[in-house]
C-alpha cells in the first residue's frame, strides 16, 4: 500500500473509532457550526479546514438534495443567500416560488439543479455586513458534496493526528420526502458506504423533525440528536426528554433553553442538563456566536453589532452547566474557553 492510501486507511479507522477512545471524556466536544462560519463563508471547504485548524472535534454539514439525488451541503434548499446563483444568467429561468415547511419562499432551489450545475456556483457569506472579513472569501469555494466533507474529515484526521468527527443535519426531510427525494435513505446509504453507520463511529445525525430521526433509525445505527428550538420548551421537559431518549442519543437545544437570559444577563441554568442526564441523553446546545448582535445585552462590548462581546462567558456557563458538547460559529473561542 502506498503512503497516501495507507494514511487514508488509518484515518478511516480513526473516524470510525469509539468516542471514548477519541476524546478526553471529561471535556465537552466542540462542534464547528457550518465550519468556522464566523470567519469563512458557511459550509465551504475553507470553513471546515479553518475549524479543524482551530481545534474543532466535529464539523457540521447541513444536508439538502439535488435533482439527481446527491447530498450537498447547504443550510437550506433555497440558495440565493449563500451562493452567486442570482448572477448566473443561464439559471435565471429557474427562479421560482415554493412553500417549504409552511413558508412561501422565492428563489433558486437545489432540487431543481443537477450536481454538475450546482458545482458551477460559488459560495458567498450570508451576513456580509456582520462578517466582512469572511465576505472577502466570496467566490473562492464551490458547494461541497457530503462525500467531500466525509473525505475531508478523513484526510484531516490523518494529517492532524486526531480524529475529526462529522455531525450531519437532515434539512427539510418531510419536504424532500414529499418530492420523492427521501433524505434519510440517502444519508444512511452514504454513511454505510463510508463505513460510518455504527453506533461507535464519530458521527451524530441531527434533525428538528422527530419522525425523520425515527425513520433514519430503521436504516442506520449512527447516533441521533433531536434538535429543539427555543419555541418548543415542552420538548425538553423531563417527560419530553424521556420521549426523546426512546429514539435518540442526545438532544441539541437552543442554548437559551440551558442558560436563559434574565434582564439582559445570563441567568442560572435550567434543569435541562440534569433531566437529560437522568434520561440518558447527551446535551449539545447551539449556536454560540461571538458578535454583539447575538449576545445578551450585558455581554455586549460597544455599540457595533458586528463587534465581539464577552462570548467566553456563554461558553463557560454552558460548560459549567454540564453540557457534553457545544455548537459554535467560532470553534477557536469554544476551544479557548474550554481550557
- List contacts with Ca ion (CB under 5 A): 62, 169
- Cα–Cα distance measured from residue 159 to residue 195, given in angstroms and rounded to the nearest whole number: 20
User: Which residue has 468527527 as its cell numbers?
Assistant: 165
Select the binding partner of residue 252 from Ca ion, ligand G3P, none (C-beta < 5 to 8 A, by kind): ligand G3P
Could you write out the DSSP letters of every residue in 142-177?
A: PPPBHHHHHHHHHHHHHHHTS--EE--EE-SHHHHH
Question: Which of 58, 175, 286, 294 forms a contact with ligand G3P (CB under 6 A)?
Answer: 286
Q: From start to end of the chain, where are the E strands?
A: 29-32, 58-59, 62-65, 71-73, 96-100, 103-107, 165-166, 169-170, 204-207, 223-228, 250-253, 261-262, 265-266, 282-283, 325-328
x/- binding map, residues 115-154, to ligand G3P, per CB under 6 A? Answer: ----------------------------------------
| Residue 146 site contact among ligand G3P, Ca ion, none (CB < 5 to 8 Å, cut-off depends on kind) | none
Q: Does 57 bind ligand G3P (CB under 6 A)?
A: no
Closer CB to Ca ion, 23 or 208, in the complex: 208
Q: Please list every residue from 188 through 217 that binds ligand G3P, using CB under 6 A.
A: 206
Q: Which residue is nearest to Ca ion (CB)?
A: 169
- Using CB under 6 A as the binding rule, whether residue 220 contacts ligand G3P is answered as no
Distance CA 83, CA 75 (A): 11
User: Is 292 a residue that touches ligand G3P (CB under 6 A)?
Assistant: no
How many Å apart are CA 230 and CA 85, to the nearest integer?
A: 32
> Is 28 an interacting residue with respect to ligand G3P (CB under 6 A)?
no
**Measured from the CB of residue 235, what is the shortest distance to ligand G3P in angstroms?**
14
Instruction: Check residue 252 for interaction with ligand G3P (CB under 6 A).
Output: yes
Binding mask 311-330 for ligand G3P (x = CB under 6 A): ----------------x---
Question: Rg (Cα) of the chain, in Å, rounded?
Answer: 19
Least Å from the CB of residue 65 to Ca ion: 16
Q: Which of 169, 184, 291, 329 binds ligand G3P (CB under 6 A)?
A: 169
Give the pairing of strands 58-59 and 223-228.
unpaired
Complex with ligand G3P: residue 11 or 206, whichever CB lies closer = 206
Q: Does 33 contact ligand G3P by CB under 6 A?
A: yes
Supply the minimum distance, in Å, between the C-beta of residue 167 and Ca ion: 8
Give me the residues paired with residue 103 across strands.
Answer: 100
Q: Tell me the C-alpha to C-alpha distance, in Å, between residue 211 and each of 97, 178, 187, 218, 279.
A: 26, 14, 15, 11, 20
DSSP 33-88: TTTTTTTS-TTSHHHHHHHHHTT-SEE--EEEE-TTS-EEE-SSSB-TTTBSGGG-
Task: Output DSSP code: residue 251.
Answer: E
Q: How far is the CB of 1 from ligand G3P (least distance, A)?
A: 37
C-alpha cell at position 186: 440517502
Residues forming contacts to ligand G3P in the complex (CB under 6 A) are 33, 62, 75, 169, 206, 227, 252, 286-287, 327
Amino acid at each position: 500500500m502506498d503512503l497516501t492510501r495507507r494514511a487514508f486507511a488509518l484515518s478511516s479507522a480513526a473516524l470510525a473509532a469509539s468516542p471514548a477512545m477519541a476524546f478526553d471524556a471529561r471535556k465537552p466536544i466542540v462542534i464547528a457550526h457550518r465550519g468556522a462560519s464566523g470567519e469563512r463563508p458557511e459550509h465551504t471547504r475553507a470553513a471546515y479546514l479553518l475549524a479543524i485548524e482551530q481545534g474543532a472535534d466535529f464539523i457540521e454539514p447541513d444536508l439538502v438534495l439535488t435533482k439527481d439525488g446527491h447530498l450537498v451541503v447547504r443550510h437550506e434548499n433555497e440558495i440565493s443567500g449563500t451562493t452567486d446563483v442570482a448572477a448566473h444568467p443561464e439559471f435565471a429561468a429557474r427562479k421560482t416560488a415554493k412553500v417549504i415547511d409552511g413558508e412561501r419562499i422565492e428563489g433558486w432551489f437545489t432540487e431543481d439543479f443537477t450536481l454538475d450545475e450546482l458545482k458551477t456556483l460559488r459560495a458567498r457569506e450570508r451576513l456580509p455586513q456582520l462578517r466582512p472579513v469572511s465576505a472577502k472569501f466570496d467566490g473562492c469555494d464551490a458547494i461541497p458534496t457530503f462525500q467531500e466533507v466525509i473525505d475531508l474529515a478523513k484526510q484531516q484526521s490523518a494529517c492532524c493526528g486526531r480524529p475529526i468527527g462529522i455531525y450531519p443535519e437532515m434539512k427539510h426531510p418531510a419536504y424532500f420526502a414529499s418530492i420523492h427525494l427521501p433524505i434519510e435513505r440517502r444519508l444512511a446509504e452514504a454513511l454505510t458506504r463510508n463505513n460510518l453507520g455504527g453506533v461507535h463511529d464519530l458521527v451524530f445525525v441531527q434533525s428538528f423533525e422527530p419522525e425523520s430521526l425515527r425513520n433514519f433509525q430503521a436504516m442506520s445505527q449512527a447516533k441521533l440528536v433531536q434538535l429543539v428550538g427555543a419555541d418548543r420548551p415542552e420538548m425538553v421537559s423531563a417527560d419530553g426528554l424521556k420521549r426523546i431518549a426512546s429514539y435518540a442519543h442526545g438532544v441539541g437545544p437552543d442554548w437559551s433553553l440551558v442558560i436563559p437570559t434574565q434582564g439582559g444577563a445570563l441567568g442560572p441554568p435550567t434543569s435541562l442538563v440534569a433531566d437529560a442526564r437522568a434520561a440518558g441523553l447527551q446535551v449539545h446546545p447551539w449556536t454560540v456566536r461571538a458578535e454583539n448582535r447575538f449576545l445578551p445585552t450585558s455581554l455586549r462590548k460597544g455599540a457595533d453589532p458586528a463587534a465581539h462581546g464577552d462570548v467566553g462567558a456563554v461558553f463557560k456557563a454552558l460548560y459549567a452547566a454540564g453540557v457534553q458538547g457545544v455548537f459554535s460559529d467560532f470553534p477557536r473561542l469554544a476551544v479557548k474557553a474550554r481550557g
